[in-house]
Amino acid sequence: MKLLSSDIKTKEILDWKGTHLLNYQFSACSMKTRIYLNLKKIPFTSHQINLSAGENFSEWFQGINPRSLVPVLIHNGEVHIESNDILQYLEGRYKEVSLIPENMEEEIKDLLKFEDDLHVDIRNITFKFLVPRFLNKGKSVQPKAKNKATLNGELDFMDDVNRNFWEQYEKHGIKDKDASRSLINFRTALEDLNDQLEHNQYILGSELSLVDIAWFIYTTRIQHANYPLKRLHPSVFGWYERLYANNLFRKEVKRPLIMQFVLYVHSLILRLKRRSIEDFLLDQ
Ligand SMILES: N[C@@H](CCC(=O)N[C@@H](CS)C(=O)NCC(=O)O)C(=O)O
């Protein structure tokens, strides 16, 4: 999704030349765009927006993305938001090493839309089973900036959806019924994926595509949250391991040891309390 230059209120970025990615090291959608840029060998400048510190709600960033979300691509002063749209936009500009197999544009569009629709579910799973709630305690959702970016001249409702998510999370965490529904949605999608990957090297056949990149990120995330991928969907797990062997994928999903340690302790606590993904799956 390309924004109009009149929608951008942080005007300085309109003069940026080359390829810039506003992203966060540990954000799933950011990882997706970084892996894509690595695979395509597109040189880019990375600008970290620390989501844990609420930097996406700074005046500066709110003046760029009306949704206050990462990633944002700035390509020779043009601003693009929505990770899947960013990949498809770049695919149209950089044709060598195609990641949209011939005649599959429409199928890929549909599959990426399906993947994007699951974003709310990966969020629920992440904040229910992976990230302890205290880590988001200090997350400061700043009020709407005076000079907020717009979408075609209007404030964007997706910003309110996101703010509402954080407000609810602050009050109740992720509710059990939402977590269960999200697990069912993922399990169903992964069962289909498993059928496809039983006979194929990649999701769409013999060629690597944007859909593989997108699902690599989701499968990484749910495994970090201790979803039993290998046991429930062995062909998806085999495909995941093949991609993980490639450093262009692997380096973007690396987590520092201290983070791994904190999340491991959290997962032990969930297991002891019988609140892990495995426990929720048993109840379904
Ligand atoms: N559909 C969007 C989702 C973007 C999104 O939700 N980004 C998350 C990180 S993965 C974010 O910026 N979260 C910050 C927040 O909610 O405060 C995309 O694909 O780009």
Centre of ligand 1 from the C-alpha of residue 200, in Å = 30
Ligand 1 neighbourhood includes 82 CB (under 6 angstroms): yes
Which helix (H) or strand (E) covers residue 81, if one does?
strand 78-81
Ligand 1 neighbourhood includes 31 CB (under 6 angstroms): no
Q: Using the atom order of ligand 1, give the atom closest to the CA of residue 24.
A: 9
List, in sequence order, the alpha helices (H) in the chain.
Answer: 28-40, 59-62, 83-93, 105-117, 119-125, 157-172, 176-197, 210-224, 229-232, 234-244, 247-250, 257-272, 277-282
Q: pLDDT class for 144, splitting at 50, 70, 90?
A: very high
Q: Are 229 and 281 in contact (CB under 8 A)?
A: no
Centre of ligand 1 from the C-alpha of residue 23, in Å = 10
pTM for this predicted structure:
0.95
Ligand 1 neighbourhood includes 83 CB (under 6 angstroms): yes
pLDDT in tens, 214-264: 999 999 999 999 999 999 999 999 999 999 999 999 999 999 999 999 999
Q: pLDDT class for 136, splitting at 50, 70, 90?
A: confident
Domains and CATH numbers, the chain: 5-93 (3.40.30.10), 105-132+148-282 (1.20.1050.10)
Centre of ligand 1 from the C-alpha of residue 244, in Å = 23
Ligand 1 neighbourhood includes 65 CB (under 6 angstroms): no
pLDDT in tens, 46-90: 999 999 889 999 999 999 999 999 999 999 999 999 999 999 999
Q: pLDDT class for 284, splitting at 50, 70, 90?
A: confident
Q: Using the atom order of ligand 1, give the atom closest to the CA of residue 81.
A: 20
Q: Which of 119, 120, 111, 117 is nearest to 210 (CA)?
A: 111
pLDDT in tens, 165-209: 999 998 899 999 999 999 999 999 999 999 999 999 999 999 999
Q: Using the atom order of ligand 1, give the atom closest to the CA of residue 70.
A: 12
CA-nearest residue, atom 14 of ligand 1: 69
- Which residues contact residue 86 at a Cβ distance below 8 angstroms, ignoring those fewer than 6 apart? 33, 71, 73, 80
Centre of ligand 1 from the C-alpha of residue 83, in Å = 9
* pLDDT tops 70 at residue 138: no
